[in-house]
Amino acid sequence: MPQVVLTLPKYKLTELKEHYRTSLKSSIPAHAAFSAKTSNCTITAYTSGKVLFQGRNPEAEADKWGDGTSRGKKEKSQSRRQHSFHPPESLFTSSHIGSDEAGTGDFFGPITVAAAYVQDHQIGQLKAIGVKDSKHLSDNQITHIAKQIVQMNIPYSLMRLNNTKYNEWQEKGWTQGKMKTLLHHQAIDKLLAKIEPHRPEGILIDQFSQPEVYQKHLRSEKKRLQDKVYFMTKAESYSLSVAVASILARSSFVKAMKQMELDTGLTIPKGASPAVDRAAAKVIKLYGEDKLREVAKFHFANREKAKKLL
Ligand code: MN
């Protein structure tokens, strides 16, 4: 559902309430100052000054208020970027698919993408085993929780793009955005087939590019968006399905990195820091530069930095 968020000074809220006095709703959400409904949208004003316009045509109402202070303007231009693929609030508590990836900013290791289908009745148990935004979990915690998720028989699909393939794609001009798009798309397709005849309430992708760009990449490979696909940034903080997907993707990445350490006999750091340059230099010294095509994202600056170290 389209929405616009404005942050308004407190005195404006009084004005707003007066303006919508004939359309005020009797029930209001927690922390809200008031709520009103017009033919264009529902307006919810929070005591913080944030006002949410949500519905068919939120801008028709928001435009009346958005040009108050510069702060209001800024909030408004940011909210304008909130697209029509933003999920409805109700999706987060319903049975839906979430997808997320790992390994994109790491010189070493694959890109992994996971999609997971969490049903509404499983949300409580997942929270109980510690599922939350994977950015707040250590790699050991992630490995542990991932095992429990698998034991719960949560349906999921996992794609792992090894570095040889990644470098091939990169060298024929594909951006990471295009690679991620196809991996997410494929992970979702596989999962949809797996859970049949179940039909999820929606599919939420942790947003890494604008939905238009995602669709452009799909078209370039003669694919089209599945039904009821939504995009939002930081989706893992709102959706347990995306949180599960992010844990599964990350744990697969962590596993691949451990395997790489066994294979090379070296400590392989994650990320793209100077420690990574030093590890890359060791790989080149022991196995030759071409080895990096199998274990790393060859085009990253780390490769050149590693060569300078030698
Ligand atoms: Mn993500």
Task: Provide the residue type at 209 as one letter.
Answer: S
pLDDT band for position 81 (cuts 50, 70, 90): low
Question: Where do we find the tokens 């790992």?
Answer: 102
Backbone conformation region of residue 225, classed left if phi is above 0, alpha if psi is from -120 to 50, else beta? beta
Cα 128 to averaged position of ligand 1 atoms, centre (Å): 22
Cα 132 to averaged position of ligand 1 atoms, centre (Å): 13
249-275 pLDDT tens trace: 999 999 999 999 999 999 999 999 999
Q: How far is CA 24 from CA 1, 7, 43, 49, 91, in A?
A: 21, 20, 9, 17, 26
Cα 116 to averaged position of ligand 1 atoms, centre (Å): 14
Beta bridge partners of 195: none
Cα 124 to averaged position of ligand 1 atoms, centre (Å): 23
Class of domain 89-258: alpha beta
Mean pLDDT of the chain: 92
Cα 184 to averaged position of ligand 1 atoms, centre (Å): 11
What pTM value is reported for the model?
0.75
Where do the domains of the chain lie?
3-79, 89-258, 260-309
Which residues have CB less than 5 Å away from ligand 1 (the ion)?
100, 206
**Two tokens, residue 290:** 């071409």
Cα 43 to averaged position of ligand 1 atoms, centre (Å): 30
Among 46-55, 58-67, 128-137, the range scoring the smallest mean pLDDT is 58-67
CA pair distance 11, 206, nearest whole angstrom: 36
Cα 74 to averaged position of ligand 1 atoms, centre (Å): 25
176-227 pLDDT tens trace: 999 999 999 999 999 999 999 999 999 999 999 999 999 999 999 999 999 9
Residue 197: is the preceding peptide bond cis (ω within 30°)? yes
163-184 pLDDT tens trace: 999 999 999 999 999 999 999 9
**Two tokens, residue 210:** 């604008």
- Under 8 Å between Cβ of 241 and 119: no
For Cα atoms 162, 273, 287, give the angle at the middle one, nearest 5 degrees.
50
What is the model's pLDDT at position 69?
Answer: 36
Q: Which fold has domain 3-79?
A: TATA-Binding Protein (3.30.310)
CA pair distance 258, 195, nearest whole angstrom: 31
SS3 78: helix
